[in-house]
Amino acid sequence: MTKTVFFAILLSGIATWLIRVLPFILVKRFTLPAWLIDFLSYVPVAILTAIYVESLLTYHAGRWPSVNLPNLLASGPTFLAAIVSKNLLVIVIVGIASMAVLRALGWG
């Protein structure tokens, strides 16, 4: 491992750690104002939607994003599994199997 790789890992690790931990330290020290608590109450659904939709799109600099078709197609059975089972393990297994089938068919 070169010195550059090591320091890139170490400094990126420290930066990521601070991003993760500072909010915990600040919230422990200070009480959050009501508007911020209201704001944060929307974070779960908003961020989960954003992370999911990001996986359906492919970024191209300066153009509109294109659709990631395999991920979109595998989402169908996965959503169905979510509605029917309401069980995370079942949902994940159906998702993996759907994508495996798509790839075996050469559509993935």
Report the site for other proteins in 8-67 (rule: CB under 8 A): 8-13, 15-17, 19-28, 32, 35-55, 57, 59, 63-65
Shortest Å, Cβ 68 to other proteins: 9
CA distance 23 to 16: 12
Half-sphere exposure (Cβ direction) of 105: Cα atoms closer than 13 Å: 11
Shortest Å, Cβ 87 to other proteins: 8
Q: Which of residues 80-99 bind other proteins (CB under 8 A)?
A: 81-83, 86, 88-89, 91-99
Tell me which amino acid residue 18 is: L
Check: CB of residue 42 under 8 Å from CB of residue 70: no
Task: Report the 10 Å Cβ neighbour count for 99.
Answer: 19
Check: CB of residue 56 under 8 Å from CB of residue 67: yes
Shortest Å, Cβ 69 to other proteins: 13
User: By CB under 8 A, is residue 105 in contact with other proteins?
Assistant: no
